[in-house]
Structure 1
Amino acid sequence: MIDIAVVDYGMGNLRSVAKALEHVAPDHRVVVTSDPAKIAAAGRVVFPGQGAMPDCVRELDARGLREAVIAAAADKPFLGICIGLQLLFDHSEEGDVAGLGIVPGQVKRFAAADMHDALGGKLKVPHMGWNQVYQSDKHPLWAGIEQGARFYYVHSYYVQPQDAAIEAGYSEYPTRFTSCVARNNIFAVQFHPEKSQHDGLQLLANFVRWNGVSN
């Protein structure tokens, strides 16, 4: 029995995600896999990734993992990370590509030309480094994590949900953008919990204990 499946579609260093999960859940079996059958058999699924959206979609389909991810997101505790958040949406401006259509909404690029900090300094894209995350609503995955805790980001695009009610957290760069969404058994984040030290590990530990119910 696989307790936690980390979906491997060839995009990003998935071992760092798996190692972080093994650290917070030493009694659970964590498997990095590109086998749809193993994903289907797992008790919970983590869907991470790094890279460009068109490449991620292509590799996901090349490995026959599209339907496995859609099925997992329908009925078991499911955690999306970084591109694993963006892929859940209908469409991305990055490469003008369709996502998986699990969560209604769009993926937008930061408008680099118009972005300045409070002192007038120009902000860079990608948004890279530590930033505060503000919890939009209560959720089991926020247990033990303070409002405004800092998490680690690396991204040039952000999600824009069709339904604002699914926003679970947001950050500012320099204006507000959705950094976490929650709907039923799905929780997905733009930042990298596996690179976010104590609070990132706390979020992963909360996921391991989560029964897939938002409230």
Structure 2
Amino acid sequence: MGNERWYRWYGASQAIASMLLLNGYWLLFNLPVLLLALGLIFPSSPRQFLFSLVGLIISFPSILLPATFALFGVMRRWLYYQEPRQAIGGTFWRLYRENYRRSFAAGLFFGSLALLLLGSYRQIDSFQLPVLAVGYLFLSIILLVWLLYFICDSVHLAAPMRLALIKSFFIIFWAPLQTLMLLGLLSGLALLLVLINPLLAGLIVGGLGSQCACYSYLRIIQKAQAKAAPADE
């Protein structure tokens, strides 16, 4: 009994350490994004603010998305294949290189949609703002979940990008309960970021967020496969 409890604690501590290390690689690759974000939040001049803003827009498809694809890819291997949590750095770098073109294209696509949504939001008349703000919030949430499911689908299956975009979009509405659960987990994670130290939160946000999204996506896929199995037989 004592040995079994010790092995459980050891397994849990190893999983936490691996997730922290994986999140560390993700933060390391996103270091330019973090510096630009700090420059945007605490600008010393209007020129620095503009430079940071343009830099963040450029770094979204070129830095943030490729690193996030690699993060999700490693997490998916842990959850789906139960792979040993070893050689994290090598696996992260390999997935980063393998998915760079796809992640860059996805960054351009989703970044353009986000800018379009933000631009149209700023054009709203002040009298219409309370009414339409809810709609824009809903669209923003849909866009975020669509992006997360697309990343999960891209690292899970080698489907063409257009097909992956369509499938990941309809997954949102095909499994609404699972999507709501994912939103609940992400909301809890966001609340955690607000309540605890931002530096400490940065050490876990990527790992926990990717784990929530990958777990939700894999549950949906397993559910779809279970429904399709009797029909195939």
Would you tell me which structure has more strand in proportion to its own residues? 1
Q: Which has the larger radius of gyration?
A: 2
Q: TM-score, normalised by structure 2?
A: 0.27
Give the structure with the larger helix fraction. 2
Q: Which has the higher contact order (CA 8 A, sep 6+)?
A: 2
Per the normalisation by structure 1, the TM-score is 0.28
